[in-house]
Amino acid sequence: MATFEFTIPSIQKVTCPAGKATSYDYDTETPGLGLRTSATGGKAFIFQGYVHDKQIRVTIGDVKSWRLDTPVRSKENSARKEARRLQSLCDAAIDPRQEKQDRKTEAEQRKTEAMRQRVTLADVWPIYIEARQHKWGELSLRDHERAVHRGGAEKKRGKGLTEPGPLSSLLDVKLSELTAARLQTWLTKENSKRPSAAARCFRLLRGFMNWCEQEADYTSLIPQDSHSARKVRETVYKSKAKEGDCLQREQLALWFEAVRKQSPVLSAYLQALLLSGARREELAGLRWENVDFQWASLTIKDKVEGERVIPLTPYISQLLVALPRRNVWVFSSPTAANGRIQDPNKAHTRALAATGLPHVSLHGLRRSFGTLAEWVECPAGVVAQIQGHKPSAIAEKHYRRRPLDLLRMWHSKIEAFILEQAGIEQPAEITGKAGLRVVA
């Protein structure tokens, strides 16, 4: 160890003594300023001081990167200026090493926060889907993917390019810029073209924003209450049940006549949709393994409960028995990529147009089942259990567990009434296992 006045020439002359890996020299002009020289020739300014009577050493930086000195009023850093700063910390009983670590941590936090502030909807939406898709059904997952589709791809069916999803215009917006004003502007624009779709996608976006608030990486990025602001809620389109979106008793004969002219699979699907009251995707996703002809039951994937078992009524049983068994799907399609029907709504629309009946959506057939059930005075709780609705009262939720036989009694009455009004002959029945009535 040597002590001398540091100058550029004197520092250049310093070498590490033979046999040593490192040597230390100290400046006579600035207390604590030192020079560390390695056997390989590397040199760095250091600071040596005392905190609570304990010696510490802190590396200032390579001599090639740090100037030795600067004018007194200069704002530039230098080794002597930094050594004096570190000495002032020691005098205040502050460990320069901890102060350095704190500054590093603070810089990293600023960098992380700056990166967080740059995160866009497009960056986080796929992460959100990955984290939540195990809780969604196939249809819900598809809705989330379509909502942010940028469009411009070749259509799989028909000619032309696909349209952008309602949320596509927000994909490149930073989460920190999803303000109430931004959402209101987006909704107003989308409402002019597709209000129902915009309202549905707003609900998807709201779920995403609530999820972000629960995730450490994204919490506090989205402006508070942006999706719940009054001006946003008032801009969301209030969808109403379509007028006439339900088959009336006197329309059943025409409806069945038109639907039974469709292809066997589509015809069976549409009739079963009305007679079971199931959701469109629940029935479209029915597998042969979920059909029990022996015990007259259907096991349906339920979006609320996971799955539910409903009666296999005589006429539906007759429809299913006649279907071809091409693959695992009951309502199969030889042309679809996944092997089952994809868009039965087109066939249904054609059937309605051919008869002059008012438009009824596929969900309207589910609504029709619940409405027509009232003609046989079927208890509302029975209809809800068959259709997979959440219980609407304490008694239904905690004290009603109707067996399949009881559901079958009422479900068969509903089916018989609908077929009678449609002028369709009831299927012949015999007594099968455990006294169940099975199609002959």
For the chain, the average pLDDT equals 88
227 confidence band (pLDDT: 50, 70, 90) = very high
Cβ contacts of 40 within 8 Å, gap of 6 or more: none
321 and 342 fall within a common domain: yes
Q: Which residues contact 134 (CB under 8 A, 6 or more apart)?
A: none
Residue 66 lies in a domain: yes
Residues 180-204 have a mean pLDDT of: 95
**Is 279 tagged catalytic?**
yes
Please report the DSSP string for 216-263 in residue order. TTTTTTSPTTTTT-HHHHHHS----PPTT-S--GGGHHHHHHHHTTS-
Is residue 324 domain-shared with residue 421, that is, in the same domain?
Answer: yes
Same domain for 332 and 378, yes or no, is yes
pLDDT tens track for 112-135: 677 777 889 999 999 999 999 988
Please indicate whether residue 389 is annotated as part of the active site. yes
- How many whole angstroms separate alpha carbon 68 and alpha carbon 35? 11
> Does residue 286 share a domain with residue 222?
no
Residue 419 lies in a domain: yes
Q: Which among 301, 340, 367, 437 is annotated as catalytic?
A: 301
Last residue of a domain, one of 90, 111, 132: 111
From residue 220, alpha-carbon distances to 117, 167, 215, 223, 377 in Å are: 10, 21, 9, 7, 53
Instruction: Flag whether pLDDT at 3 surpasses 80.
Output: yes
Q: Which of 111, 139, 161 is the last residue of a domain?
A: 111
Does 348 qualify as catalytic in the annotation? no
Tell me, yes or no, whether 31 and 134 share the same domain. Answer: no
Q: How far is CA 311 from CA 100, 238, 274, 406, in A?
A: 72, 36, 14, 9
Question: Does residue 116 lie within any of the structural domains?
Answer: no
Per mean pLDDT, which range of 22-26, 312-316, 331-335, 432-436 is the poorest?
432-436
Domain at 49, CATH number: 3.30.160.390
Q: Calculate Rg over the CA atoms of the chain.
A: 37
Q: How many residues does the chain have?
A: 440
Catalytic residue, chosen from 144, 227, 366, 408, is 366
Query: Active site residue: 146, 206, 303, 363, which one?
Result: 363
Last residue of a domain, one of 235, 261, 281: 235
Residue 132 falls inside a structural domain: yes
Instruction: Indicate whether 256 and 364 sit together in one domain.
Output: yes
Residue 52 is among the residues annotated as catalytic for this protein: no
* In a shared domain, residues 434 and 390: yes
pLDDT category at 241 given cuts 50, 70, 90 is low
Classify residue 12: in a domain, yes or no: yes
What is the span of the domain harbouring residue 175? 121-235
In a domain, 242, yes or no: no
Q: In terms of pLDDT, which residue wins out, 243 or 36?
A: 36
Task: Say how far apart CA 121 and CA 99 lie, in whole Å.
Answer: 37
Does the structure show a pLDDT above 50 at 42? yes
Q: Does the predicted model carry a pTM greater than 0.75?
A: no
| Active-site position among 100, 233, 308, 389 | 389
Indicate if the pLDDT at residue 389 is higher than 50: yes
| Within-domain flag for 243 | no
pLDDT tens profile 354-363 = 888 888 999 9
Question: Residue 432 pLDDT > 60, yes or no?
Answer: no
Specify the number of domains making up the chain: 3
Distance CA 109, CA 107 (A): 5
Domain membership flag for residue 240: no
Task: Tell me what pLDDT residue 315 has.
Answer: 96
64 tagged catalytic? no
- Tell me: do 332 and 410 sit in the same domain: yes
pLDDT of 402 reads 79
Same domain for 363 and 267: yes
Q: Are residues 269 and 380 in the same domain?
A: yes
The tens digit of pLDDT for each residue in 55-82 reads 999 999 999 999 998 876 677 789 999 9
Which of 81, 144, 279, 411 does the annotation list as catalytic? 279
424 and 361 in a single domain? The answer is yes
Residue 93 zone, left/alpha/beta (φ > 0; ψ -120 to 50; rest) = left
Is the domain of 97 the same as that of 194? no
pLDDT of residue 140 exceeding 50: yes
Query: Catalytic residue at 155?
Result: no
Residue 399 has pLDDT above 70, yes or no: no
